[in-house]
Amino acid sequence: MKPASPDAYLTGQLLIAMPAMSDPRFSHSVIYLCAHSKEGAMGLVVNRPLAKPDFDQLLRQLKIEPVPPARRIRLCEGGPVDNGRGFVLHTTDWTGEGSMDVDGKLALTASLDVLKVIADGGGPREGLLALGYAGWGPGQLDNEIQQNAWLSVPADEDLLFDGGHDTKWRRALAKLKIDPMLLSGTAGHA
* CATH number of the domain bearing residue 72: 3.40.1740.10
Q: Which residues pair with 129 in a beta bridge?
A: 75, 88
pLDDT category at 113 given cuts 50, 70, 90 is very high
Report if residue 130 sits inside a domain: yes
The three-state secondary structure class of 33 is strand
pLDDT above 50: residue 6: no
143-159 pLDDT tens trace: 999 999 999 999 999 99
114-124 pLDDT tens trace: 999 999 999 99
Task: Tell me the mean pLDDT in the region 105-127.
Answer: 96
Report if residue 144 sits inside a domain: yes
Report if residue 92 sits inside a domain: yes
Residues whose CB falls within 8 Å of the CB of residue 159, separated by 6 or more in sequence, listed in order: 14, 30, 46, 168, 171, 172, 175
Rounded distance, CA 141 to CA 150, Å? Answer: 9
Number of domains in the chain: 1
Report if residue 169 sits inside a domain: yes
DSSP annotation of 97 reads: T
Say if residues 49 and 30 touch (Cβ distance below 8 Å).
no
Task: Tell me the mean pLDDT in the region 73-90.
Answer: 96
Report if residue 190 sits inside a domain: no
pLDDT above 80: residue 182: no
Report if residue 187 sits inside a domain: no
pLDDT category at 51 given cuts 50, 70, 90 is confident
